[in-house]
Chain A
């Protein structure tokens, strides 16, 4: 066949793949929002769950989701940023960094259901935290670590090394250089990673069912059980409790994920424009 013709056919097929992927994405978003958005109103967002979700709103699950996400970020961010700082600023490549990287890669690859079992055994049973926001958040934090470490490492490496040279030339110590120059410069990149990992916490289900429990009450403390939005949506959809409420909950979930993605994209975009 004529090479030019082959090229044309190939190019349109490739373009087709891109179009197909985009169509799938938009279909998912519009399908959920089209069927669910009309039922999302103030009463739905602030009402208590009634009759296992057949009636009423999703207020307790929103509160649980916020608690879980905030607490897990609070735990994972220092650990992740610390690890990334160590890998970039405090060491050369050696056996220890190799082990740390291996651990990070493995952690990123472990399925969430295994995190769920692990959280159940360690936090719920062994440490006797029972089904609680804290157990769930600790499990989520372990899952988030790789994302935070990788993005933070990338952000720190993007800061030109001459900045640190200037710091030393002016008599600054390493710590001063990190706190006053590197971290502020890398902040947008770090924030992007933290926000993306929040998205993971919001959409996680498998790891939370056995760690945060299924309670439908508003959690009163971090030792109380709470059902996150995604878990609630799963139970609505799978047990066929209420299709209307399932769609509405999915809409709230999708909007949250959309906002998280847009915010992280905007931060990244502003950050890139500054540097390139």
Chain B
């Protein structure tokens, strides 16, 4: 009888373990069921290469938003990656125990701040500053890049710390014994050895930046033109979905779901790349 109970519980737990994969399948099913028929009807090239988004006239081209998403994401990486990796190196190699004790929760807190608050700080502080320093409206790719750069810091810092700490101590000892300074050791030994881990962090941060919605809506100005400079306003794929979903019907709604399909495929690809990067590290 006792044994019977164990088996029942084990089966139940196995059932629970299927939850994540079932949710993933449900997400794919419900998003694709709405989006894919539209993609087939409208034509994938027309959709992703179309330069005009005019839902009232049934013209759905998301190229401006794809470019917007890419600009903003690349901007975020340019700002977030150097600062994030620098923080990680300092914490692993140079800082004392007290700095670490203070900084780790600080990074976690940075990750916990709601994205709407980041967006709000972006409008209240950053946008006026950029307007008065560089001109333009202030609601621009540059503003969004800075905001997103800060938002992806926690991801990059914590994964880079893990990657750097995982480098065997003997590598470092060898380098120091050869007479290298600790900076030379970092550049020539630690960073190359932790390369794939840091890369995984960067890709994850990239996924976060491209998927961020609320902060981006608040600071990019949401114009539908293809941006020509970093001070131009732009609209990303995510913000387009969030802005128009509330009132979209019929083909318009299907087009928004199709945008989500494109976004989803992009994120899935990024995730698979991350996994291969991590795996190649393990096998090596």
> What is A's interface to B at a CB cutoff of 8 Å?
3-4, 6-7, 10-11, 13-18, 20-22, 24-25, 28, 31-32, 78-80, 82-83, 85-87, 90, 96, 99-100, 102-107, 109-118, 120-122, 126, 142, 145-146, 149, 173-175, 196, 199-200, 202-206, 209-210, 230, 233-234, 237-238, 246, 250, 253-254, 257-258, 260-261, 265
Q: Residues of B within 8 Å of A, CB-based: how many?
A: 86
Q: Which residues of A contact B83 (CB under 8 A)?
A: 17, 20-21
Q: Which residues of B contact A118 (CB under 8 A)?
A: 26-27, 30-31
Smallest Cβ distance from A101 to chain B, in angstroms?
A: 9
A99 to B275, CA, bound (A): 13
Residue of A nearest to B14 (CB): A86
Q: Which residues of A contact B264 (CB under 8 A)?
A: 110, 114
Q: Return the 10 tightest CB-CB contacts between A and B, nearest first.
A: A111-B211, A82-B16, A203-B114, A17-B86, A103-B21, A86-B17, A14-B90, A7-B183, A103-B20, A121-B30
Q: Which residues of B contact A202 (CB under 8 A)?
A: 114
Q: Which residues of B contact A200 (CB under 8 A)?
A: 112
Q: Which residues of B contact A78 (CB under 8 A)?
A: 16
Q: Which stretch of B38-46, B53-61, B91-99 is in the interface?
A: B91-99
Q: Which residues of B contact A246 (CB under 8 A)?
A: 120
Tell which of A103, A173, A237 touches B24, judged by Cβ atoms closer than 8 Å. A103
A11 to B91, CA, bound (A): 11
Is A100 in contact with B17, judged by CB distance below 8 angstroms? yes
Within 8 A of A (CB), among B256-272: 256-257, 260, 263-264, 267-268, 270-271
Is B123 in contact with A237, judged by CB distance below 8 angstroms? yes
Determine which residue in B5, B123, B207, B211 has the highest number of CB atoms from chain A within 10 A of its CB, and name it. Answer: B211
A96 to B99, CA, bound (A): 41
Is A250 in contact with B120, judged by CB distance below 8 angstroms? yes
A90 to B275, CA, bound (A): 24
Q: Which residues of A contact B224 (CB under 8 A)?
A: none
A274 to B27, CA, bound (A): 41
Is A175 in contact with B9, judged by CB distance below 8 angstroms? yes
The reply to whether the CB of B51 lies closer than 8 angstroms to some CB of chain A is: no
Smallest Cβ distance from A143 to chain B, in angstroms?
A: 9
